[in-house]
Amino acid sequence: MRIISGSLKGKSINFLKNSTTRPLKDAVRENIFNILKHSNLINGMIDNANILDLYSGTGSFGLECISRGAKKVTFVEHDKDAANILNKNLIKLNVINKASIINNKVDKIFKKKTEKFDIFFFDPPFADKEFKRALNLIKTVKIYNIKHVVIIHREKKAQDNLDAFVDIIISKQYGRSKIIFGVFN
């Protein structure tokens, strides 16, 4: 797995080889960033953005954001092995100063978070339905800037009713993946 673009383009990143973590495929990641950069429908400025990467695994999305000019990425990953590999990736790429890792369940972190974010990336396990609780918590504690974007990676067959949490702007399918772009309503 490699960084697609930006200052770290071509650098390899380590990932976890197990059944509990699903790396974000390069083609899907590239399409997400193409939409962020080129769509007139969403505010997806990555330059100097503060990003919250939830269910981050080994960090491919957030690392790509750092490579493309993000100010800071906060990674949230409950799996200790994935968080350890993510930390090694940050050290290997020499970007530890642009990141923080929270090794905890996603819904446990919002009581302490006061900073605001520009981009939220949700990549929960496809079987996980609890991620909606995190959407609700973010909406409740209002840790988003006025101009923000929410990106959710789900299985294309998932019938998640997200209307109570986000206004969906764009939804795209790539193979087994569905990528949803929206804003908190």
Which tens digit of pLDDT belongs to each residue from 90-147?
999 999 999 999 998 887 787 666 789 999 999 998 888 789 999 999 998 899 999 9
How much is the pLDDT for 125? Answer: 85
Cα separation of 88 and 68, whole Å?
Answer: 20
Higher pLDDT, 178 or 22: 178
Q: Is the predicted pLDDT of residue 31 greater than 60, yes or no?
A: yes
Helices (H), 108-170: 131-141
Cα separation of 174 and 58, whole Å?
Answer: 21
CATH 3.40.50.150 applies to domain 26-184 = yes
Higher pLDDT, 48 or 20: 48
Helix axes 60-67, 26-38, angle to 10 degrees: 40
Q: Is the predicted pLDDT of residue 152 greater than 60, yes or no?
A: yes
Average pLDDT over residues 161-169: 93
How much is the pLDDT for 19? Answer: 54
How much is the pLDDT for 99? Answer: 97
How much is the pLDDT for 22? Answer: 66
* Sequence letter at residue 147: K
Structure tokens at 33: 């960033």
How much is the pLDDT for 42? Answer: 80
Structure tokens at 75: 């990674």
Q: Is the predicted pLDDT of residue 83 greater than 90, yes or no?
A: yes
How much is the pLDDT for 86? Answer: 96
Work out whether strand 50-54 and strand 99-102 pair parallel, antiparallel, or are unpaired: unpaired
The β-bridge partners of 181 are 151, 170
Helices (H), the chain: 26-38, 60-67, 80-92, 131-141
Structure tokens at 128: 């996980």
Structure tokens at 34: 């193409």
What's the mean per-residue pLDDT of the chain? 90
Structure tokens at 39: 């769509």
